[in-house]
A = this chain, B = another copy of it.
Amino acid sequence: MRIGILGYGNLGRGVEAAIRQNPDMELVAVFTRRPPESLHIMTEGVPVLSLETAKEMQDKIDVMILCGGSATDLPTQTPDFVKYFNVIDSFDTHAKIPEHFVNVDAAARAGGKVGIISVGWDPGMFSLNRLYGGAILPNGTDYTFWGKGVSQGHSDAVRRIEGVKDARQYTIPVPAAVDAVRNGENPELTTRQKHTRECFVVAEPGADLARIEREIKTMPNYFADYDTTVHFITEEEMKQDHSGLPHGGMVIRSGKTGMNLEHNHIIEYKITLDSNPEFTASVLVAYARAAYRMSQDGQSGCKTVFDVPPAYLSPLSGEELRKNLL
């Protein structure tokens, strides 16, 4: 399977590393908007090419993995490139997924290609677990907790405050809420009861720390509805203790069965990640295999993780899967 990477940030680098772990895949090229000669990738012998030349490679690439952002890149890139390639993206603006799906579906059908959108862990593996849990235990409730982990959107929001030089924001599930859900208590939880937020901030010299803290804690949408803790630290501490991008979380389905709904069941899917972008990239690469196979089957159009038979993700044959994993 010949893979192209379009966009070479944290996610693109994660895809590059993940391809090395899948011997049935080969990285053909990395495409970038930057001057190609300015970009040095980790895989020897693989060219870095200008994004404009990508479409000329149509016959040399089986699946293009789109590693741009959901805000401005993917809404146009995915419908554009799916006319020429089978593609995977990690579009994660939940509210706009239906619209993105419609756009990608029309373009993919026109090009006779497969586009799998919103691949990763949420949307992605968490979505799958919400679906499986709800289908198995229809009389029940879903709970999704995120963290402990770095939220890049919230970190950026803090960085935009005047006097802030650098910032890192951790989203943390409230242990009492998680425990209540695991105990089958089916609690109704407010936003504040589910997660807390912890910020580590490097301030500019002489900045008004009290004002920065107040601006963080009262910021609408991002922090006002949460209990937030703010720590001011040095640049050295930031570099030493907060340079990684760990994340994680869990989807819990709590449901009842029995003629009188007398039995409780808890299904919990939990992930603990040292590197959020590398894990997301690993999911993208597994779904690239599926996109290739669905295309080989003669399918086309936009798909999501809900549409992909699990066996298509694995390099093993049906016989091997049944013998070793079933």
Contacts and interface: CB of A to CB of B under 8 A. Distances in A.
Contacts of A304: 321-322, 326
A138 B21 contact: yes
Q: For the complex formed by this chain, how many copies does it contain in all?
A: 2
A181 B118 CA distance: 30
A42 B274 CA distance: 50
A265 B282 CA distance: 11
Interface stretch (A204-212, A213-221, A307-315): A307-315
A16 B260 CA distance: 12
Contacts of A16: 259
A229 interface: no
Interface stretch (A29-37, A93-101, A162-170): A93-101
Interface in A156-201: 182
Given A257-B18, A273-B265, A313-B131, A306 B322 contact: yes
A272 B278 contact: no
Interface of A: 14, 16-18, 20-22, 42, 94, 97-98, 101, 118, 123, 125, 127-128, 130-132, 134-139, 182, 257-259, 262-275, 278-279, 281-283, 286, 289, 304-311, 313-315, 318-319, 321-323, 325-326
